[in-house]
Chain A
């Protein structure tokens, strides 16, 4: 099983700042099959990024995914109040398809 470790656990930033979230895999993820999801309290997750760097439909371009192999990053430029949420990475290259433990993006 591929273990995904997200860091930091909590990130406290102010609106307008840039957020950098990390996701490290315990082994290389096949063909960069990594996705990022956003989840707000009481809501279902929403797909942001798939294939490591492709934005999902309707996702604004201030969300950027990057990385390959074992190290992946989600960058959110110019934080808006609605961006404060929990973010999960997922690898879907190898079954079982695992999620990271999440990074909580807090408003400072």
Chain B
């Protein structure tokens, strides 16, 4: 069974850092691009970042560019999101998602994890 399991969320102070992880099972991880999508409490979906299957191409939303870094370890079937200089507006549930294709461009997500909550507050 294909599965994505996020971890690493929690409470962090403004200006702090956090690293999210996503453990993948049930499919050939290196074949597919992956991404992160977030959802602020009571709000809609916002694409955060994507990475190609090989890990050689990445892309970011404007609100996180320069602060967040997406990466993957295909030997460990794991996806990561390093979040620095966190702000209150970064508070959200962060979903790990599998793209239908291998390229980072044009990510349409056909498998989602259950999400991990990140709260940025003093």
Contact = CB atoms under 8 A, between A and B. Distances in A.
Contacts of A56: 110
A45 interface: yes
Interface residues of B, number: 22
Interface residues of A, number: 26
B110 A44 contact: no
A102 B37 CA distance: 15
Contacts of B112: 44-46
Given A88-B45, A92-B106, 8 more contacts: A39-B45, A44-B112, A45-B95, A46-B112, A92-B107, A95-B59, A99-B44, A99-B45
16 contacts: A1-B62, A37-B45, A44-B113, A45-B109, A47-B108, A47-B109, A51-B108, A90-B45, A93-B106, A95-B59, A96-B61, A97-B107, A99-B44, A99-B47, A100-B44, A102-B44
Interface of A: 1, 33, 35, 37, 39, 43-47, 50-51, 56-57, 88, 90, 92-93, 95-102
